[in-house]
């Protein structure tokens, strides 16, 4: 009997025991079972009792792990509604062509992966045959997040279906000629097939959760009823190590996303070897998902194991499966029956006896072949159970053998992720195993042939009939014929044109004010999707709370503490704002789902995601590439931008480089506006380009990145004729003469000051100092986009190489501007230096290079040498080098300003 003193105290000790005698009887019963039948039997009874309690609705903590067996008993598996024999043939053709495509491409050295689809084939085939809804039926169909390394199998099925040709298969990973297929799911490269880019591992599961959540958002807001859509995410067990892969599990459970299913292919291998060599990844994942509130279905063993479990009257087999580490189980799949008898069944007498009842062939079948993921009936049962479960998302943990059907050289080998081809003999063995009608004579000059039963064969007719019944081909991406959204009234944009007078307004606030007006638009207001990661009050957005509401599927089940205030915290089932909490990754996943809704659901949504600029591109740039690949549209807004405008916050909040990272993304149009009217012009044109009437040849599949600042400044009135310059990236804001500064000499030295964002205010101050104290005339230019200027210049260079005559806009804009050019921004010099090679005048720049620091704005700018006095010094130095001012002026300025 257990010594009571050895039992650790628990939270139950703090609760009053209404009947200590009854409690003691239960404990004594447990001790008696343990003594009479052993601890394994006692543990079994406890688990079954807890299962009964959970099933009865008693409020008890859930078991985080169950035995290492299938969740769905064989007797409970439903029959497949279809022709299993034909489905077996279809899967065989797809296995063959996937392997053939990669092998044929290997002679060009382009790579490819064979083993992943080989292990997961039935996970996809069962879904395509019975579950995945297409886009030609009602609603939006299902959303499929395909495991990136399984792409050859998806191409093989499209080939069988007649959607791809042999020529296209032969150009796998060879896209430059125009007929090629991208390596992985890339919508930008194959936009009629792929919807979601997934091979940057971890982003697929994160995006799938937020896609399922956004589907509910659209339905609850009555934009479109997509309640029939289901999100399927196919993942690898190794991929689940990525932090993003599990970052939003609690969100999915908390919001009851039963429109979401994860299918995790547990082949126990990652790229270099076992996922959990000394542990059991399936059990770990089960505990993780159960703990997060997910419904967990384990599909581990094939039907060959049924006999073994029936013979296991002592529970020894289940106990042994629970203790064998994954790497050892991988080894079993490659060794003979004698090895398995010794190392698996030899661990205790009960297992030795069990092993004696099994033939060598039976042992080999169980340990080398029979996995739940390789039997369509078991996969079908899991999928059916997942769709039937209500109130929570489901994860299906499916055990497979990596490289299954590819032969001994591939199956369960650590290196199979890097193995790119099979030999002819290995293909012939595979052909015989799959029973495919491919003759030896079809292997011409050692080249493996593609296989196809014919466009009118029973296999192809069945495949197409099943897809027609499910709503059309899958996967598939649709670009719907959506009518352009009407442009909002000019009043919203024109409100900034008169300036703010004596009132100081930060550009962050200017953007928020603009959005407040735009969301009131009767035609397009409901399509705006404001996204913020728990910083709405920082950005002055709290006034949107009561008017738009914060989305919550539960609405507001409490009385908010600020209910009696005008701008109280209001949650609603039809709320428009997505306030994600402290998760930039989750906010970006929201943005991607909204930004691609025009394709996924045929509904144009206008997301804007506002965030601390330092925590945008630096933290989630991978997702911004995902956004570009997914052809997303919308506005990313880096607020509290710049190295020096966020007073006192210090290094980790000081953004001196986001425009550099943004410039690397071809889909990002990056702007650093200085004034409110510039923001209005940029947003207006962005709405036209992405959602309205785009110009001929203009790429609509772009997104905008705007940097806005928290430094209140007077907003000037909009000068005439500057719209083109705002959008192209540069215009002259004023001249020394128009600015009203007094330059004594008519032939005074002249310099051109280019400033972006908040830096233009320092340039304007420097303009006055140069005139008043040094007799230098300075013209000030607003550089709204260094990146767009550079891209235009690069395009001009390319045009010249093609024999066309074209001048970069930067040269046209600065044509005739007298004197040298000095560029300045609140970012590292690399940002304005993007245009240096195309500026014909002498060019130099100032910037905030290095790490940020905590201090006042003035002190920080002096530290980086970008304040007005530092600009004056740099301007004088530039003019002195040209002999236009005395060299002594530089020293004098340094001493005068204490620089």
pLDDT tens digits, residue range 588-639?
A: 999 999 999 999 999 999 999 999 999 999 999 999 999 999 999 999 999 9
Q: Nearest CA to 120 among 164, 154, 86, 69?
A: 154
CB count, 10 Å around CB of 503? 10
Q: Nearest CA to 601 among 234, 217, 184, 182?
A: 217
d(C-alpha 52, C-alpha 55), whole Å: 5
Residue 413: pLDDT above 80? no
Would you say 676 and 507 are in contact if contact means Cβ atoms under 8 Å apart?
Answer: yes
CB count, 10 Å around CB of 746? 6
Strands lying side by side in the sheet with 777-782: 731-734, 777-782, 750-755, 821-824, 843-846
Q: How far is CA 733 from CA 367, 420, 778, 818, 823, in A?
A: 75, 59, 11, 15, 14
> DSSP secondary-structure letter at 838?
G
Between 738 and 641, the more confident residue is: 641
Q: Count how many residues are written for the chain.
A: 899
Q: What percent of the chain has pLDDT over 90?
A: 82
Q: In 3-state terms, what secondary structure has residue 269?
A: strand
d(C-alpha 526, C-alpha 506), whole Å: 26
Assign residue 435 a region: left if phi > 0, alpha if psi is -120 to 50, beta otherwise? left
What is the per-residue pLDDT for 178? 82
534: exposed, middle or buried (C-beta count within 10 Å: 0-12, 13-18, 19+)?
A: middle
User: 513 falls in which pLDDT band (50, 70, 90)?
Assistant: very high
What is the per-residue pLDDT for 24? 86
- Residue position matching structure tokens 């100032």: 846
- Residue position matching structure tokens 């997942």: 386
Report, as an integer, the average pLDDT of 143-170.
Answer: 97
d(C-alpha 198, C-alpha 194), whole Å: 10
Greatest Cα pair distance in the chain: 110
User: 535 falls in which pLDDT band (50, 70, 90)?
Assistant: confident
Would you say 722 and 783 are in contact if contact means Cβ atoms under 8 Å apart?
Answer: no
Six-digit token pair at 756? 């972006």
What is the per-residue pLDDT for 55? 77
Q: Which run of H or of E encompasses 49?
A: helix 39-55
Would you say 264 and 241 are in contact if contact means Cβ atoms under 8 Å apart?
Answer: no
User: 428 falls in which pLDDT band (50, 70, 90)?
Assistant: very high
d(C-alpha 871, C-alpha 770), whole Å: 9
Q: How far is CA 432 from CA 177, 407, 409, in A?
A: 36, 11, 16
What is the per-residue pLDDT for 740? 78
- pLDDT 10s digits, 1-44: 445 445 555 555 556 777 888 888 888 888 898 889 888 788 78
Q: Which among 47-56, 415-424, 607-616 has the top mean pLDDT?
A: 607-616
d(C-alpha 352, C-alpha 627), whole Å: 56
Q: In 3-state terms, what secondary structure has residue 259?
A: coil
Q: In 3-state terms, what secondary structure has residue 181?
A: strand
Which string of DSSP letters, residue by residue, matches 799-824? HHHTT-----HHHHHHTT--S-EEEE
- For the chain, count helices (H), then strands (E): 34, 20
- pLDDT 10s digits, 274-325: 999 999 999 999 999 999 999 999 999 999 999 999 999 888 999 999 999 9
User: 482 falls in which pLDDT band (50, 70, 90)?
Assistant: confident
Residue 674: pLDDT above 90? yes
What is the per-residue pLDDT for 650? 83
What is the per-residue pLDDT for 26? 86
Q: What angle do CA 161, 166, 169 make, to 5 degrees?
A: 90
d(C-alpha 892, C-alpha 118), whole Å: 76
d(C-alpha 603, C-alpha 613), whole Å: 29
483: exposed, middle or buried (C-beta count within 10 Å: 0-12, 13-18, 19+)?
A: exposed
Give residue 176's Cα distance to chain centre. Answer: 26
Six-digit token pair at 860? 């920080």
User: 103 falls in which pLDDT band (50, 70, 90)?
Assistant: very high
> DSSP secondary-structure letter at 703?
E
Q: pLDDT averaged over the chain?
A: 93
Q: In 3-state terms, what secondary structure has residue 90?
A: helix
d(C-alpha 185, C-alpha 208), whole Å: 14
What is the per-residue pLDDT for 412? 67
Beta bridge pairs of residue 612: 639
Q: What percent of the chain has pLDDT over 70?
A: 97
Would you say 147 and 608 are in contact if contact means Cβ atoms under 8 Å apart?
Answer: no
What is the per-residue pLDDT for 397? 98
d(C-alpha 812, C-alpha 806), whole Å: 10
Q: Which run of H or of E encompasses 618?
A: helix 617-629
Lowest mean pLDDT segment, chosen from 45-54, 63-72, 356-365: 45-54
Q: Nearest CA to 730 among 823, 659, 661, 635?
A: 823
Would you say 417 and 406 are in contact if contact means Cβ atoms under 8 Å apart?
Answer: no
Six-digit token pair at 754? 């280019």
861: exposed, middle or buried (C-beta count within 10 Å: 0-12, 13-18, 19+)?
A: buried
Would you say 642 and 758 are in contact if contact means Cβ atoms under 8 Å apart?
Answer: yes
Would you say 629 and 831 are in contact if contact means Cβ atoms under 8 Å apart?
Answer: no
Strands lying side by side in the sheet with 606-612: 578-579, 528-532, 606-612, 635-639, 703-707, 668-671
- Residue position matching structure tokens 């009997």: 1
Which string of DSSP letters, residue by residue, matches 468-536? HHTTS-SS------PPPPPPPPHHHHHTTTT--TT-EE-HHHHHHHHHHHHTT-TTTGGGEEEEESS-T
Q: In 3-state terms, what secondary structure has residue 824?
A: strand
> DSSP secondary-structure letter at 540?
T
| Contacts of 26 by beta carbon, 8 Å cutoff, 6+ apart | none
Phi then psi dihedrals of residue 545, to 5 deg: -55, -60
Q: Nearest CA to 543 among 577, 508, 520, 568?
A: 568
Helices (H), 170-315: 203-220, 243-246, 249-254, 281-291, 305-311
CA-atom Rg of the chain in angstroms: 33
d(C-alpha 59, C-alpha 472), whole Å: 44
Report, as an integer, the average pLDDT of 806-822.
Answer: 97
Report, as an integer, the average pLDDT of 830-841.
Answer: 98
Phi then psi dihedrals of residue 502, to 5 deg: -85, -10
What is the per-residue pLDDT for 1? 43
| Contacts of 216 by beta carbon, 8 Å cutoff, 6+ apart | 255, 257, 259, 553
Lowest mean pLDDT segment, chosen from 36-40, 126-130, 501-505: 36-40
| Contacts of 717 by beta carbon, 8 Å cutoff, 6+ apart | 497, 498, 499, 677
Helices (H), 249-358: 249-254, 281-291, 305-311, 316-323, 326-332, 337-343, 349-356
Phi then psi dihedrals of residue 839, to 5 deg: -90, 120
| Contacts of 162 by beta carbon, 8 Å cutoff, 6+ apart | 455, 460
What is the per-residue pLDDT for 49? 84
Check the CA dihedral 109-110-111-114 and report its sign. Answer: negative
């Amino acid at each position: 009997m257990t010594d009571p003193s050895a039992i650790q105290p628990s939270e139950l000790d703090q609760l009053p025991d209404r009947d200590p005698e009854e409690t003691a009887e239960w404990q004594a019963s447990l001790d008696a079972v343990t003594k009479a039948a052993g601890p394994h039997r006692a543990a079994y009874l406890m688990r079954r009792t807890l299962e009964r309690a959970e099933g009865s609705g008693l409020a008890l903590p859930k078991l985080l792990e169950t035995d290492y067996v299938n969740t769905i008993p064989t007797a409970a598996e439903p029959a497949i509604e279809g022709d299993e024999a034909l489905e077996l043939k279809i899967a065989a053709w797809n296995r063959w062509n996937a392997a053939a495509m990669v092998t044929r491409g290997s002679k060009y050295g382009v790579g490819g992966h064979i083993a992943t689809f080989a292990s997961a084939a039935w996970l996809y085939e069962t879904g395509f045959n019975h579950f995945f809804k297409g886009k030609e039926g009602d609603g939006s169909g299902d959303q499929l997040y395909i495991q990136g390394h399984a792409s050859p199998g998806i191409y093989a099925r499209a080939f069988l279906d007649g959607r791809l040709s042999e020529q296209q298969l032969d150009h796998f990973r060879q896209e430059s000629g125009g007929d090629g297929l991208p390596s992985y799911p890339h919508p930008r490269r194959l936009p009629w097939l792929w919807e979601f880019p997934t091979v940057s591992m971890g982003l697929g599961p994160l995006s799938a959760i937020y896609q399922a959540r956004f589907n509910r958002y659209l339905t609850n807001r009555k934009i479109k009823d997509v309640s029939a859509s289901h999100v399927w995410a196919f993942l690898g067990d190794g991929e689940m190590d990525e932090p993003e892969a599990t970052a939003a599990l609690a969100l999915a459970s908390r919001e009851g996303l039963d429109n979401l299913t994860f299918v995790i292919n547990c082949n126990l291998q990652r790229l270099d070897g076992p996922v959990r060599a000394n542990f059991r990844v399936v059990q770990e994942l089960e505990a993780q998902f159960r703990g997060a509130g997910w419904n967990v279905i384990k599909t581990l063993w094939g039907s060959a194991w049924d006999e073994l479990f029936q013979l296991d009257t002592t529970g020894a087999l289940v106990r042994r499966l629970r203790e064998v580490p994954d790497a050892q189980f991988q080894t079993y799949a490659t060794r003979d029956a004698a090895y398995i008898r010794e190392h698996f069944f030899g661990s205790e007498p009960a297992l030795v006896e069990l092993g004696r009842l099994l033939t060598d062939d039976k042992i080999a079948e169980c340990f080398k072949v029979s996995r739940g993921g390789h039997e369509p009936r078991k996969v079908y049962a899991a999928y059916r159970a997942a769709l039937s479960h209500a109130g929570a998302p489901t994860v299906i943990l499916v055990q497979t053998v990596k490289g299954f059907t590819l032969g001994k050289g591939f199956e369960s080998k650590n290196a199979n992720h890097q193995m790119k081809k099979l030999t002819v003999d290995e293909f012939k063995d595979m052909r015989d195993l799959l029973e495919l009608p491919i003759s030896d004579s079809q292997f011409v000059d050692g080249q493996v042939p593609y296989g196809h039963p014919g466009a009118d064969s029973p296999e192809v007719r069945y495949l197409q009939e099943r897809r027609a019944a499910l709503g059309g081909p899958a996967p598939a991406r649709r670009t719907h014929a959506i009518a352009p959204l009407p442009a909002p009234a000019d009043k919203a944009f024109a409100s900034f044109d008169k300036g703010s007078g004596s009132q100081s307004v930060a550009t962050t606030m200017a953007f928020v004010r603009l959005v407040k007006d735009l969301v009131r638009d009767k035609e397009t207001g409901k399509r705006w999707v404001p996204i913020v990661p728990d910083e709405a009050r920082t950005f002055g957005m709290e006034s949107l709370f009561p008017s738009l509401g914060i989305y919550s599927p539960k609405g507001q089940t409490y009385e908010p503490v600020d209910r009696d205030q005008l701008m109280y915290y209001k949650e609603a089932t039809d709320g428009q704002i997505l306030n994600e909490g402290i998760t930039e990754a989750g906010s970006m996943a929201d943005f991607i789902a909204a930004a691609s809704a025009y394709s996924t659901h045929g509904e144009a949504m206008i997301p804007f995601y506002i965030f601390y600029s330092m925590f945008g591109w630096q933290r989630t740039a991978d997702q911004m590439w995902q956004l570009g690949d997914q052809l997303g549209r919308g506005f990313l807004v880096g607020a509290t931008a710049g190295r020096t405008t966020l007073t006192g916050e210090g290094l980790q909040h000081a953004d001196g480089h986001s425009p550099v990272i943004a410039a690397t993304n071809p889909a990002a149009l990056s702007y650093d506006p200085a004034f409110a009217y510039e923001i209005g012009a940029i947003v207006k044109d962005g709405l036209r380009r992405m959602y309205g009437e785009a110009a001929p040849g203009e790429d609509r599949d772009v997104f905008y990145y705007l940097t806005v600042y928290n430094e209140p400044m007077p907003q000037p009135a909009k000068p005439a004729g500057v719209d083109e310059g705002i959008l192209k990236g540069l215009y002259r804001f004023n001249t020394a003469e128009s600015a009203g500064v007094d330059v004594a000499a008519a032939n005074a030295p002249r310099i051109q000051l280019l400033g972006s964002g908040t830096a233009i205010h320092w340039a304007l101050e420097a303009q006055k100092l140069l005139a008043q104290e040094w007799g230098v005339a300075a013209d000030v230019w607003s550089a709204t986009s260094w990146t767009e200027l550079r891209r235009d210049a690069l395009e001009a260079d390319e045009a010249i190489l093609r024999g066309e005559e074209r001048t970069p806009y930067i040269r046209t804009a600065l044509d005739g501007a007298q004197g040298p050019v000095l560029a300045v921004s609140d970012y590292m010099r690399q940002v304005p230096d993007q245009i240096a090679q195309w500026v014909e005048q002498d060019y130099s720049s100032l910037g905030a290079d290095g790490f940020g620091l905590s201090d006042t704005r003035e002190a920080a700018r002096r530290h980086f040498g970008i304040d007005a006095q530092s600009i004056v010094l740099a301007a004088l130095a530039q003019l002195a080098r040209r002999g236009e001012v005395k060299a002594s002026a530089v020293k004098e300025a340094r001493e005068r300003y204490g620089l």
